[in-house]
Structure 1
Amino acid sequence: MGDEPHNAARPDSEGLSYLLRHWRERLDPTRIRGIDSSRRRLKPGLTQQEVAQLTNVSLAWYRELERGKHRRFDEQFLRRLAQVLRLDEAERAVLFRLAAGYAPLPGNSSSGAAMDQSMHVVLDQMAPHPAYVSNLWWDIVAHNQPVGDWFPQVLEQPNLMRFVFLHPEARRQLLNWRRDWAAPSLAQIRYASAIHPDCEELVQLRDDILMGNAEAREMWRANQTRAHSDGDRRFLRLPYHGGQEVCVRITAFAPLINQDLRFVILLRL
């Protein structure tokens, strides 16, 4: 009831129509007010008709939206749609970026790697905790000495995401690799790619990882989005320190001078 024909054109797997369908079908009708959850359903989640009803648009209008027809989207409608679909902050930003061409987030959009000397001083002050600065596409642009002590192989391949997915040492060093490292990393790549769709380096990074790692291709289909890893607790094995296992809390922030840079500290717990 209310869904588009089964033989409709298959949406682009990176596009708005695909994500709208994914977000709609993951909802639990029993938890949505104003929806008849007792009737038999042929597909999981809400129907297009129900989403149209909850967002105060016609069924025909919403069908065209899921088919990817370009429109001038009102910000109030997009916020209402995000609320109906129960989108988190990262997913809401992706919705705005794909539908309206911008994300409702503050910050400097410059993607350069410019840093002043004071940042290097701060990095050195973080010792003995490893600390580094990465750019929009996760190249390490500065680091302190403990990073080299803990991760000498990362400095051979100074891109964090390529290390996680394409370096043979990653699975041995990054404990609980799939759950704690790979899945959150892919979610961050999807988020960054949606917020910065014209960044060729991000597109190339995503393509290299998906082409080079079959498990990453499988996880990518989960359609997860995540803005950052700040506050995560993760476990590492240090092969250059006798295989010692350590727990770290990721502390991350963006300098105001360039909010596309990531200043990350691995606080050893």
Structure 2
Amino acid sequence: MTEILRNAVQECEQRPNVVDGGPDELGKLLVFWRERLDPRRIAGVDTQRRRLKPGLTQAEVAHLTGVGLTWYRALEKGTRHDFSDRFLLRLAMTLRLSETEQAVLFQLAKGQAPPQRPQLSEADKVEPDMQLMLDQMAPYPAYLSNLCWDIVANNPALDDWFPWLPYERNMMRLAFLYPEAQQQLVPWKEGWARPFLAQVRVALAMYPDHEGLHVLKDDLLSGNPVARELWAENEAIHHPDGHVRGIRLPNSNRVMPVKIMALAPMGNMTMRFITLLPQETGQE
């Protein structure tokens, strides 16, 4: 085992029989990571059901990562698969792995490091006064995104609503490539996926030479069959300002209607200043 693996599994070694260096080490770590999860912090998980063991069930993890239960059970038993980076990133988000634990996951599963996260350009860097404005939106979640929908800054309220933000900062990729996010955005297809893709179409029309937008579109269409279906309908929406959509909040199964307030900084009109305003008491 490499030095990075020895360092990363120290916390796991506190639990007997979790790490032994054998061929099923990945499966044992997956069980440990799954059982330490708090179901109340994951939207779309039934927190009312009686649980015989801590954490999430295998069925819940399989559902949230977009794979079959039989496939995931075999994974925890140590069965090797041809893992894609996309699946491992979904699994890391569902299991709430730290950066070091993600490195362990990729090393054991593929023998390589996780893909590097893209760095923000100079144009995307946020000034302190803009961050102050985001913070002043509390208790309402607020964030600033760039032309490609990368969240470049947000206030703490957004972290409370969306615990998966540390794992994927692009709103479009979250919505289309991560089943867990699809559990939280309600109704996903008509309320979120359809208008999101319509916005991507407008952005591509306005900035046809922007490589990042073309990469984003290709990622969404290749990674989600519903995205391909919706893209063929050729809808176009410029912005979501004033739209009311549903969000299932963590710690409950309530769906909260929220109004999306969308603004643009005059200094960079490709940026989006988004605030989410709850409209009424959530419904079950």
Which TM-score bucket, shorter chain as reference?
0.5 to 0.7
Contact 1:111–1:135 (CA<8 Å) still a contact in 2? no
Alignment of 1:56-135 (within 5 A): 112-135=123-146
**Structure 2 unaligned residues grouped into runs of 5+:** 1-120, 280-284
Q: Does 1:216 align with 2:249?
A: no
* Residue type at the aligned position of 2:200: I
Q: Does 1:253 align with 2:263?
A: yes
The alignment partner of 2:248 has SS state of strand
Provide the residue aligned with 1:139 in structure 2: 150
* Residue type at the aligned position of 2:276: L
Sequence identity (%): 47
| Equivalent residue in structure 1 for 2:218, among 207, 211, 225 | 207
Contact 1:154–1:160 (CA<8 Å) still a contact in 2? no
Provide the residue aligned with 1:198 in structure 2: 209
Provide the residue aligned with 1:173 in structure 2: 184
Change (3 A) 1:111 1:189: farther
The alignment partner of 2:149 has SS state of coil
C-alpha displacement of 1:155: 3.1
Provide the residue aligned with 1:227 in structure 2: 238
- Partner Cα distance (1:254, 1:268) in 2: 21
- Compare CA radii of gyration and give the structure with the larger one: 1
Once the two structures are superposed, what CA deviation does each residue of 1:128-175 show, in whole Å capped at 9, x if it has no partner? 100000000000000000110010113310000000100111221111
Provide the residue aligned with 1:243 in structure 2: 253
Provide the residue aligned with 1:150 in structure 2: 161
* Residue type at the aligned position of 1:215: V
- Partner Cα distance (2:122, 2:148) in 1: 9
* Residue type at the aligned position of 2:274: V
Contact 1:111–1:260 (CA<8 Å) still a contact in 2? no
The alignment partner of 2:242 has SS state of coil
Provide the residue aligned with 1:262 in structure 2: 272
- Partner Cα distance (2:251, 2:208) in 1: 40
* Residue type at the aligned position of 1:136: L
Provide the residue aligned with 1:161 in structure 2: 172
Contact 2:176–2:227 (CA<8 Å) still a contact in 1? yes
Once the two structures are superposed, what CA deviation does each residue of 1:42-72 show, in whole Å capped at 9, x if it has no partner? xxxxxxxxxxxxxxxxxxxxxxxxxxxxxxx
- After superposing on structure 2, the runs of 4+ consecutive aligned residues of structure 1 that deviate more than 6 Å are none
Q: Does 1:184 align with 2:168?
A: no
The alignment partner of 1:265 has SS state of strand
- Partner Cα distance (2:122, 2:129) in 1: 19
**Structure 1 unaligned residues grouped into runs of 5+:** 1-109
C-alpha displacement of 1:205: 0.3
C-alpha displacement of 1:191: 0.5
How does the TM-score come out when normalised to structure 1? 0.57
C-alpha root-mean-square deviation of aligned residues, in Å? 1.5
C-alpha displacement of 1:202: 0.5
- Partner Cα distance (1:187, 1:111) in 2: 28
Once the two structures are superposed, what CA deviation does each residue of 1:190-224 show, in whole Å capped at 9, x if it has no partner? 10011111111100000000000011101101001
The alignment partner of 1:169 has SS state of helix
Contact 2:125–2:152 (CA<8 Å) still a contact in 1? no
- Partner Cα distance (1:219, 1:123) in 2: 32
- Partner Cα distance (1:190, 1:111) in 2: 25
